[in-house]
Amino acid sequence: MASKRAILEHLSRSELQAIADTAKLEVRDRRVRQELIDAAAASSRKVALEVVIAAYPRDRLKELCRALGLDDSGKEKATLVDRLLGSERLDAAPADDTPAPAEKPAAAPAKRGRAAKAGDEKGGDLGFEAKLWLAADKLRANMDASEYKHVVLGLIFLKYISDAFEELRARLVADKAGGADPEDRDEYRAERVFWVPKEGRWPAIQAKAKDPRIGQLIDDAMTAIERDNPSLKGTLPKNYARPGLDKQRLGELIDVIGTIGLGSKEHQAKDVLGRVYEYFLAEFALAEGKKGGQFYTPRSVVRVLVELLAPYQGRVYDPCCGSGGMFVSSEKFVEEHGGRVGDVSVYGQESNETTWRLAKMNLAIRGIEANLGTEHANTFHRDFHPDLKADFVLANPPFNDSDWGQDRLQDDVRWKYGTPPAGNANFAWVQHFIHHLAPKGMAGFVLANGSMSSNQSGEGEIRKAIVEADLVDCMVALPGQLFYSTQIPVCLWFLARDKKNNRFRDRRGEVLFIDARKLGRMLDRTQREMADDDVTRIAGTYHAWRGDKGAAKYEDVAGFCKSASLEEIRAHQHVLTPGRYVGAEEIEDDGEPFEVRMVQLVAKLEEQFTEGARLDTAIRKNLRGLGYGQ
């Protein structure tokens, strides 16, 4: 039998969240794994570990037994559960008060993350994402996460468009007397709802969930939906019939997804599907590790970019759009500030075929009309938007890409500030962004820290030319461990084509440097996230410096932000690392005289010397007792 904390330490964040839901635990931040562990371990309530663990598949129970040094033999799940929890059923809830198993999403889901405000019109934090993920992930078995995500997300998309279709269809049927025609596809297009043919409607799919032919039925449904909705052509996954996909597990997954309404007006108002879709993208990115960074930029990083640029209206462009997170956040920003979804026009491109499909679905389920090109394609070599001049560029390009085909683009018109080196595409991306900026356009993007200081292969000269052109508006150094794809720290670049315009103050000859490396909090041992307060602090600093209407007065803060002149940047050889400019953080004087403090420190050091000598003697004595040493 293992201790309660030992078991908790070996559970994933999703599994811990399920325990918190089952036991109705109060957790300050449910995204932080250690806080979930501490809350479950310290709670005086009965934490129903048995209820949650008993629902795990046998392979997961065996895995836990091995991790805890217990015998993992046996075929019966009950035996493995007993081995983990002991015959007394550690912390089991009373039989008359046993909650429902964790993998079944509750009708009134608990909240995740920060507690939602009572009466929140958007429904606050929706708590079922973690439960739904936990249930779906159990069905993954040995399938690779990169493959499984398309299985799951495709079904979520199918459920969403079917729900939205059925709800509108019901309204049209009820309004037949008023002239509504439920069979007129234009009625659905007018409401921005996809037409779903009979074979693609979720009730028909779920009714056949246990049919051995379910894979082929889903493929046929996807094909029919693409046929009747040209904007989705080539977007939906159609390989559910492949032999390697377990049809029994597929049917179980359909039942899991079928428990949540996704496309009704009520759930659309709460952005249920968008939340589920984004949550799953993040979890799959975490599961895939480095590969996950190819399609997903952490939400907190996207928020920093969007909050600083404030894209209220105009053309938004992301030439390496991944799964479309920049566009989704831009639309959310507009809505949260009283605008309309149609106030921004979306243009993008993605080179990876499956990721391009994810982006198309991600935007479609939110009703965002976007021009992502007719197919996936490499932005450098096949630019789908050659004449686009964007008001905002938001991007997270591949870090330090060494195989980008520079030899075929030697005299490209985009290389106004110098030809980028063949071994690193960083400044190819920067110049591509600049090339596509409108006369008053602004860009915000993520790059590896080396872009701020590297002088290799002419990169220093390109950076110098961009600085001297007075295009750099702000540089932000971020903490490490924000990305699934890399543990190295990264930075944010903000460029402005015209620093003297009517929207903000004249910033010509100035650059704002922000050192945010100390911000953020660890969600677990490997993952950090920028909190809302961190995002607000960075954005507020930039807006104050830029002179936004209603913003606070800007002041340099030692160790955090500094407004530097081009002369200062020249003195640093055009290196743009914020740490060089912001200086050291001021340390508050505790009022204790140096002479007094020094006596205390020396006394403590003497104590440590004495303790060290005692330990040396004890270690030598033990070694002699073992027959070693003199």
- CATH assignment of the domain containing 150: 1.20.1260.30
Confirm whether 68 is domain-assigned.
Answer: yes
Residue 458 has pLDDT above 80, yes or no: yes
Distance between CA 311 and CA 313 in Å, rounded?
A: 6
Cα-Cα-Cα-Cα dihedral of 153, 154, 159, 164, to 10°? 100
Are residues 570 and 596 both part of a single domain?
no
Instruction: Give the residue from 50, 76, 105 where a domain finishes.
Output: 105
Confirm whether 278 is domain-assigned.
Answer: no
The pLDDT of residue 275 is 61
pLDDT tens-place string over residues 209-224: 999 999 999 999 999 9
Closest CA to 317 of 330, 304, 335: 330
Are residues 173 and 303 both part of a single domain?
no
Task: Flag the least confident range among 28-32, 133-137, 593-597.
Answer: 133-137
Number of domains in the chain: 4
Are residues 403 and 428 both part of a single domain?
yes
Are residues 40 and 177 both part of a single domain?
no
Are residues 403 and 532 both part of a single domain?
yes
Sign of the CA dihedral with 116 first, then 118, 122, and 123 last: positive
Question: Would you place residue 417 in the very low, low, confident or very high pLDDT band (cuts 50, 70, 90)?
Answer: very high
pTM of the predicted model over 0.95? no
Are residues 70 and 158 both part of a single domain?
no
Are residues 449 and 571 both part of a single domain?
yes
Are residues 514 and 419 both part of a single domain?
yes
pLDDT tens-place string over residues 140-195: 666 666 677 778 888 888 988 898 899 899 999 999 888 889 999 999 988 888 99
Instruction: Give the residue from 56, 88, 105 where a domain finishes.
Output: 105
Distance between CA 393 and CA 375 in Å, rounded?
A: 21
Distance between CA 497 and CA 437 in Å, rounded?
A: 7
Domain that holds residue 185: 145-270
Closest CA to 149 of 9, 395, 352: 352
Higher pLDDT, residue 568 or 487: 568
Residue 126 has pLDDT above 70, yes or no: no
Confirm whether 131 is domain-assigned.
Answer: no
Question: Would you place residue 208 in the very low, low, confident or very high pLDDT band (cuts 50, 70, 90)?
Answer: very high
Helical (H) or strand (E) element with 443 = strand 437-448
Report the chain's mean pLDDT, rounded to a whole number. Answer: 81
